[in-house]
Amino acid sequence: MFAYIIRKLVYNIPVYLAIVLLVMILLRQRDPVAGLLGKNADAKDYAAKKQELGLNRPFLIQYGDLLRSIFTFQFDEESWTQPGVTVGEKLVEAVPRSLALTVPALVLTSLISIVVAMISAFNRGRFLDKLLVFLAVLGMSISFLVYIIFGQYFGAYQLSQWLGRPVFSIHGYEPGLVNWAYYMLLPVLISVIVSMGYDTRFYRAVMVEETQRDYITTARAKGATRGKVMFVHMLRNAMIPIITRIMITLPFLVTGSILLEQFFGIPGMGYVLLSAIRNNDFPVVETFTAVFAGLFILSIIATDILYALFDPRVRLQ
């Protein structure tokens, strides 16, 4: 197993190098310095600025620089829009906020939708199944934006008006666990409601497929209980697609839900990244992008390892 992990890690290093390269090339399609200096700069200031920021150095050297800072976790480049604050500080600040929003959302969504999917799959074709699928489909058929706009209006504003005191925050963020429910619960609930439709449907399709496999019939024929069949036989076999699905969403835990953060004023990764893009905060965009890519790769490696754990045959490959 250990060797497998090492092999995966080594294999992914060139992938990551290529990603960082691609990111840098894409971000250099437009001149960031011109945007930074604004309209009051002349050519001399411009050249000086470029020199100061090291953006006139050969591309490969800049590339090496970025890689070094990523691999040594030294993100001490200064943000352009917020002088005196390094990119690393922004990362450290933003990541936990995004996680506080997305981790509970992912856990809740996954648990609820797997359970609902199992109920649905087991009752396939019956009224309950149809109802659940219909509800899931209904939920999926409405835009995320509509959920947010109405969620904020009814969940935060109307509810507060109705109860006569604020229940959920309409906008804003305070750190600290005690404040979590006030600021985060509503976005988390919205996020859960939004993703439940998708996940339930997906998991149900996976489960339905599994329920038709021969081994289920065999197990049932042998007298295994319903529960045992569900949890021991089926769930284990359905794990690969389930893990894949959860893993795909893992990196988005970090970028967070940009729209939710934007609407509810939670300064997480997505919020920071979006405002950096809008404000042409080049170092922040570049680093956040590269870090995001790194986390993504790590999550892929984790997926592969989990694959191998659940399905030992994969390891032999």
Partner 1 sequence: MKLDCWRTEPHVPLRCLRHSFLQTFLICLLLVPGLLECKQVMADQPIVLRLPMPTAGPNSLDPVRGSSQYDNIACGYVYESLLEYEYLKRPFELKPCLLESMPEVSEDGKTFRFKLREDIYFHDDPCFPDGKGRRLVTDDVFYSLKRMADNGNQPKAWWLMKDTIVGFDDYREQQNAAEDFDYDAPVEGMVKISDYEFEIVLAQPFYRFIYTLAMFQTAVLPHEAVDYYKEKFSKHPVGTGPFLMQRWDFGAKLVFVRNPSYRTMLYPADPGLNKDGSAPYTGYKEDVELGFYKDAGKRLPLADKVILTMFAENQPMWLKFLNRELDYSRVPAENFPQAFIKRRQKLRQSFKDMGIRAVPLPLLDFIYNGFNMEDPVFGGYDDKSKWLRQAISLTYDLEEINQAHYQGINLIYDGPIPNGMDGHPEGHQVANNYRGPNIPRAKKLLAKAGYPDGKGLPELVFYTSRQPASVEMAMMSKRNMAKIGVKMDVRSVDFATLSENLRKKTCPFFGLAWGSDYPDAENNLQLFYGPFKSPMSNNFNYDRAEYNELYEKVRVMQPSPERSAMYAKMRDMIIEDVPVIGAMARTRFYLIHSRLKNFKPEETFSNWPKYLTVQEP
Partner 2 sequence: MSMTDRFFKTREFRKLFRNKSAVIAMLVIAAYLFTALFVMCGGITRETCDTVVGQNKMPGFFIQQTPEQRYENATSKFLPMVQRALSRADQTAALADVRLGQERVVNKSAAQLQAIIDRAIELKNELNQSEDLDADSARLPQLKALEDQVAMLKAPLTGWSRLMQNASLVLGTDAQGRSIFLRGLYSIKIAIQIGLVTAAFCVLLGALLGAAAGYFGGWVDHGIVWVYTTFSSIPNLVLLVVLSYAFTDSEVKDTLLPVYIAFGATFWIGTCRVIRGETLKLKRMEYIQAAQTAGFSPFYILVRHVIPNTAHLMLINFSLLLIGAIKSEVILSFLGFGVKGQPSWGIMIRDAGNNGDVVSGFFWEIGTATALMFALVLAFNILSDALQDAFDPKHV
- Establish if 81 lies at the interface with partner 1 (CB under 8 A): yes
The single residue among 51, 161, 212, 217 that binds partner 2, judged by CB under 8 A, is 212
Kindly state the tokens that stand for 41. Answer: 């700069």
Ramachandran angles phi, psi of 139, nearest 5°: -60, -40
Per the DSSP assignment, residues forming a β-bridge with 86 are 78
Q: Please, what is the minimum distance in Å from the beta carbon of residue 44 to partner 2?
A: 27
The reply to whether 279 sits near partner 1 by the rule CB under 8 A is: yes
Q: Report the 10 Å Cβ neighbour count for 295.
A: 18
In the bound complex, what is the minimum distance in angstroms from residue 162's beta carbon to partner 2? Answer: 16
Check binding of 137 to partner 2 (CB under 8 A): yes
Looking at the Cβ atoms of 12 and 179, the one nearer to partner 1 is 179
Q: Which does 143 bind (CB under 5 to 8 A by kind): partner 2, partner 1, none?
A: partner 2
193 touches 147 (CB < 8 A): yes
Residue of 58, 50, 84, 65 whose CA lies nearest to 286: 65
d(CA 313, CA 212): 22
How far, in Å, CA of 240 to CA of 243, rounded? 5
Q: For residue 280, is it left (φ>0), alpha (ψ between -120 and 50) or beta?
A: left
Site for partner 2 in 184-203 (CB under 8 A): 198, 201-202
Q: Which does 273 bind (CB under 5 to 8 A by kind): partner 1, partner 2, none?
A: partner 2
Region of 58-66, 117-125, 237-245, 292-300 interacting with partner 1 (CB under 8 A) = 117-125
Query: What single string gives the DSSP state of each residue in 230-242?
Result: IIIIIHHHHHHHH
Q: Are 242 and 210 in contact (CB under 8 A)?
A: no
Question: Of these partners, partner 2, partner 1, none, which one is at the site of residue 248 (CB under 5 to 8 Å by kind)?
Answer: partner 2
Q: Contacts with partner 1 in 224-243 (CB under 8 A)? A: 225-227, 230-231
CA atoms within 13 A on the CB side of 250: 18
**φ, ψ of residue 79 in degrees (nearest 5):** -65, 145
Check residue 258 for interaction with partner 1 (CB under 8 A): no
CA-atom Rg of the chain in angstroms: 24
> In the complex with partner 1, which residue's Cβ is closer, 173 or 288?
173
Binding site residues, partner 2, CB under 8 A: 11-12, 15-16, 18-19, 22-23, 26-27, 29-30, 133, 137-138, 140-146, 149-150, 153, 198, 201-202, 205, 209, 212, 240-241, 244, 248, 251, 255, 258-259, 270, 273-274, 277, 285, 288-289, 292-293, 296-297, 300, 313-314, 317
